[in-house]
Amino acid sequence: MRWLWCTAVVLLSMCLPQAATAVAPLSSAGPVLEEMGKRLEDQTQPAPERLDIIKVFGEWATSQVRPPLVAVLKDPQPEIREAAARALGWQGNNEAVPALQERIEASAEVPAVKAAAVRSLGRIGDLSARALVVRLTSDPDTSVRQAAVWSVALGALVDQANRTPYLIQLAEDGAADTQERSEAIRALADTREERVVASLSKILEHEPRRTIALPEGQPTEQQKMMLRYAQIRDVPAWTAAALGQLQAKTALPIVLGATEDPNDFFLRLMAVKSLAIWNIPQAYPAFVKRLDDPVSEIRVLAVIGLHRLGDPKAVEPVLAHLSDKSPLVRAQMVTMLATVGGPTVRPQLEALEQRESEPEVLAALEAALSRLAR
């Protein structure tokens, strides 16, 4: 019989409201929701079926599904209570706050349920719950503490006046979700506060490195998705980028080291980008070395870095790489050479023009040679 009930769940889920603030769903869904609510509260029903209903109710996210979800917050099964606590976490669901707080403050409640309830409070955004959540940022249980820190650092209970310490706490927590840590690090970069530099430097220095490589040839859609999945969770790479955005030049040795990472191209890219932003002479050797990087985007950034430095001694190594296989790299090199090398590089650019076939490189050559002819 469960397959019949799951079919009803699927059909109902197809007409879910677009958001918690959407208009009321079709009136025809009312009887179905009511029947599903009764089955959810019926403790004799199989747990998988009840969990399916909770999942749909969480996606439905309207006042119609709140009562049965609140009711099963006291279910004997912890997995049911945890799922219901999580499902109640839609924005503006203030009416569920007292029941969620009750679960959090119940001394016998298991940490998983408490953590789900705390995270839901962080999504609902009712400021009356903030004091409780702030207190839980020091909870001895890791899952509860992490849920609380997320709520006041990235969730709907953020207070800009004291957000930075919680962002730092989340960013430094090696046991926390890496995507949330990376998001916290990006938010720290936007604070422009000097006090975050020490924290970010420590993270970049001690964070375990990852292996993230570009797929060979033309990547499939699945490979692209996997790559994006890895990149948004690359804590060291986002830290290197944040240090660059903050102009944290005291972290230069660590960032220079990151440009050498053999396994994580995304970290190398972010580190080279930061050096280019800083535009400091100490980065010159790293830029020259990255002209041989296997990733073309990093080679482009290295050329941009040399261009910004404007050091005439960079002309020779760039000329030596003018046959780079990437048209984008060659085009960037042409622009850099015309600016930094001046008339002395005209013969090499004219020679390149004779053998070049890529439109973007030819366009760069035309602009460069025109500039040099003035």
Q: Which CATH number belongs to the domain containing residue 329 in this structure?
A: 1.25.10.10
Whether 42 contacts 76, CB under 8 Å? no
Residue 11 lies in a domain: no
Question: What pTM was computed for the model?
Answer: 0.88
Q: Are residues 256 and 296 in the same domain?
A: no
Burial of 303 (0-12, 13-18, 19+ CB in 10 A): buried
Q: Are residues 269 and 176 in the same domain?
A: yes
Instruction: For residue range 70-106, list pLDDT tens digits in order.
Output: 999 999 999 999 999 999 999 999 999 999 999 999 9
Q: Are residues 163 and 142 in the same domain?
A: no
Q: What was the pLDDT predicted at 17?
A: 53
Residue 5 lies in a domain: no
Q: Hey, what are 67's tokens?
A: 């009562």
Instruction: For residue range 151-177, list pLDDT tens digits in order.
Output: 999 999 999 999 999 999 999 999 999
Quote the crossing angle between the two packed helices 235-245 and 196-206, to the nearest 10°: 140
Q: Hey, what are 54's tokens?
A: 């909770």
Q: What was the pLDDT predicted at 45?
A: 96
**Average confidence (pLDDT) over 46-55:** 96
Number of domains composing the chain: 3
Domain of residue 193 covers 159-274
Q: Hey, what are 358's tokens?
A: 């890529």
- pLDDT at position 8 over 60: no
* CA-to-CA separations, 104 to 41, 120, 124, 129, in angstroms, rounded: 21, 11, 15, 11
Residue 201 lies in a domain: yes
Residue 146 lies in a domain: yes
Residue 19 lies in a domain: no
Give the domain-ending residue among 218, 239, 274: 274
| Distance in angstroms between the alpha carbons of the first and the last residue of the chain | 83
Q: Are residues 171 and 267 in the same domain?
A: yes
What span, in angstroms and rounded, lies between the C-alpha atoms of 342 and 325? 24
